[in-house]
Amino acid sequence: MSDHVTTSVRVPGLFLVEHEMSVPLDHADPDGEQITVFAREVADPEGRDRPFLVFLQGGPGSEAPRPTRLPTDPGWLDRALRDYRVLMLDQRGTGRSSPVGTLPGLTPEQQADRLRLYRADSIVADAEVVRARLEVERWSVLGQSFGGFCALRYLSAAPGSLAEAFFTGGLPPVGRPVDDVYAATWEIMRERSERYYRRYPGDRERVRALHDRADAGDLRLPDGTPVPSRRLRTAGAMLGMSDGAEHLHYLLELDPGSPAFGFDLAAALPFHGRNPLYVAVHEGCYADGGATRWSAQRTMPDDLRADPTMFSGEHVFEWTCEDDPLLAPLAEATALLAQHEWPALYDADALASVDVPAAAAVYAEDAYVVRRFSEETARLVPSMRAWVTNEYEHNGLRAGGDRVLDRLIGLARGTAG
């Protein structure tokens, strides 16, 4: 393909420009293998000359939202389009950006070598190629969850390319051992599990009965895949969302032998074959240097391990790929990545000299991105203004996006208190 292909599309209420361009798989080898990166420019029909706001999606391994202008769309998009054109970037390996599956035909070593190139550092390097091709001097970024990790990498590695930086539930720790992160998230999940059972006390016995069913080999997904007790716990990942407790309860009230339960359970399990990058590089995305060595598994407290009714959250285990036939082809590669010595993602000295206007929504009870570590990072960046709130959970941008983004814009520009 040519280096840059564009297509313009009109949908009701929006003007879209689709961009496809080639970038190096490994930016350290610019003349080596090339992959495709896709980005969709989203503009109000009357705002096609507004500055760019690059949306960096959560994940890792999730594509950008597909925009329409309907009431079901995230509220933050309408707010963004008042000031910006939004560039929806499909991060490498997702959507239309050379999507990554189970990498057939490669050895586990070759798979691992490839997968290590899908962290925030490579995503930011891709974004810089896109910026240069679009001939944009500076643009703003909005990072949701893992997208915030990418945005902080951007501030650390290429602050001169940024006009503003906004973070929602995604201000990562800098320089902290990955074990600190996972030990903290386990304590949060302890509290979340107990909070859940206080709200729905009858569900503890339902959960216990499901674990008995799983131990007997009788808990299966609609395709026949057995769900072991250890995998059943991972449904607790939804407890980090504002509506997660209700969705979990509505799952548990179903007859576990019914088709509805099987399909809803499949949807509730966070790690599955649709998104292999989410599993393969999840812990590595937290590694600001060093190897993770199955950190979540090693830091799990013994009392939680012994009580099957306690849920896990965004925790990847040594067995995660083995328990899903669609992920099993990446099991050995993921094990190799757990031993990989990751390079640092952030430069603390560079961040300490950043003058790019920046603002972060730090969710006080975030189950995935720990508040106290986010506040540490906010204090490290002199231009960062942090809004610590318990009004929202990790999905605040989706649940109240117009208000969240409006406040962040005001904070960065000095028009909000």
> d(Cα 261, Cα 413) in Å, to the nearest integer?
48
Maximum C-alpha span of the chain: 61
Q: What is the pLDDT of residue 416?
A: 82
Contact present, 292 and 338 (Cβ < 8 Å): yes
Crossing angle between the packed helical segments 146-157 and 120-133, to the nearest 10 degrees: 70
- Residues pairing with 41 in the sheet: 17, 87
Bridge partners, 87 (sequence order):
41, 54
Do the Cβ atoms of 161 and 128 come closer than 8 Å? yes
CA distances from 215 to 49, 208, 209, 226, 317 (A): 59, 11, 10, 10, 18
Which H or E run contains 406? helix 396-413
Q: So what's the pLDDT on residue 1?
A: 42
10 Å CB burial of residue 50 (0-12, 13-18, 19+) is middle
**Residue whose C-alpha is closest to residue 263's, from 315, 200, 272, 246:** 272
The CA distances from residue 323 to 140, 223, 274, 305, in Å, are 40, 13, 14, 18
**pLDDT for position 312:** 97
Tokens 């503890």 sit on residue: 204
Torsion of CA 281, 285, 286, 289, to 10 degrees: 100
Q: Which residues contact 347 (CB under 8 A, 6 or more apart)?
A: 156, 157
SS (H, E, C) 85-128: EEEEEECCCCCCCCCCCCCCCCCHHHHHHHHCCCCHHHHHHHHH
Q: How do strand 34-43 and strand 384-389 relate by DSSP bridges?
A: unpaired
pLDDT given at position 400: 87
Contacts of 193 (CB under 8 A, 6+ apart): 236, 239, 309, 310, 311
Distance CA 363, CA 383 (A): 19
Instruction: Sketch the domain layout of the chain as residue ranges.
Output: 4-175+344-413, 178-338
Q: Does domain 4-175+344-413 have CATH number 3.30.365.10?
A: no
- The answer to whether the CB of 142 falls within 8 A of the CB of 168 is yes
Per-residue three-class SS string for 265-279: HHHHCCCCCCCHHHH
Cα separation, 80 vs 94, whole angstroms: 23
Q: Is 290 exposed, middle or buried (0-12, 13-18, 19+ CB in 10 A)?
A: middle
pLDDT tens for the 417 residues of the chain, in order: 458 888 888 888 899 999 999 999 999 999 999 999 999 999 999 999 999 999 999 999 999 999 887 665 668 999 999 999 999 999 999 999 999 999 999 999 999 999 999 999 999 999 999 999 999 999 999 999 999 999 999 999 999 999 999 999 999 999 999 999 999 999 999 999 999 999 999 999 999 999 999 999 999 999 999 999 999 999 999 999 999 999 999 999 999 999 999 999 999 999 988 899 999 999 999 999 999 999 999 999 999 999 999 999 999 999 999 999 999 999 999 999 999 999 999 999 999 999 999 999 999 999 999 999 999 999 999 999 999 999 999 998 988 878 999 999 999 999 986
| Contact (Cβ atoms closer than 8 angstroms) between residue 290 and residue 341 | yes
pLDDT at 128: 98
Instruction: Find tokens 């995660």 and name the residue.
Output: 320
User: What is d(CA 338, CA 324) in angstroms, rounded to the nearest whole number?
Assistant: 18
Task: Give dist(CA 215, CA 99) in Å, integer.
Answer: 35
